[in-house]
Structure 1
């Protein structure tokens, strides 16, 4: 995933250079969920997750993307002469902060999630209190991630929380679909740790 001008951030996100801002967001969402360390246990997983974060960090920022598109990774990181930068003066090279979790949490809207919720229609289902059931024969859409914020006191004593999800539901004609909201109730158990995952089977898109 390198070219003559360094790392190809578009290839990292499995995109071509004509990708729109929306394409970039969709690609990062899909791949970050797929290769997040909680989901991908391959030894190369953390490196792939970091590459995705750096690629999104660059391509989602209009100024960094503009310089990268013109001068490649080397120009972006090494800095370019001000006279070549046009309306975007760039005297100091770009340095990735090397914190892919920061990019991930900012993208999904959480700085300090205590629990992560995946809603999916069942190819791999994790029961609420651990364990792993087999994979189904059908390929399903990637899980939908939701963060739930609870206080340390709630984690110590336990509590009931509600979370609203939006899901695509098939209409009666079997051809069209509608986005509908649904409230899920979560019984937070005393002693749960940060990063606890719960699967709500068949609560994803249809």
Structure 2
């Protein structure tokens, strides 16, 4: 792919999609409420993200891989997301997603929305079911910022032409690394530290900010 004019990196859960995927998977195990509460605490920044993710994924042990079809059917793209990604491409930009969620879902959702490149966590499985463990290094706040820098370098985009859009505390390092950090559908701590806050839950609101 030739060099791009600019790079926009999205968080996935509650940003590019309306859902928190780990909660949908937890519903399949009958543990949705407990995992939802833990996710909320992590997004507010009250607990360490990686530690919280490991404990929440442990609750998913035993969920059959066939459940992913039901989870995918429940995914709701955020209004305006496809329009924003189309506008990014029309202006010569790259649309990327880095998520504390999971490749098992993002590998279907991201290309369906026109995303160019994405990175997320992977869930370990055996005998057709989840084992309750994350495979490999966890994509945490530092990992999100590292992905943004790596993609900018790969695509010849100066850091001055990078955008990061997120909602949770684990997006703040990435948002700080980008030239413009945009809080979208965000928790109070994230709105307070962002360069810009988008109020309506409509990603098309970001289009006028594109170069």
CA radius of gyration, larger in: 1
Which structure carries more helix by proportion?
Answer: 2
TM > 0.5 fold call: no
Higher relative contact order (CA 8 A, sep 6+): 2
TM-score, normalization: structure 1? 0.23
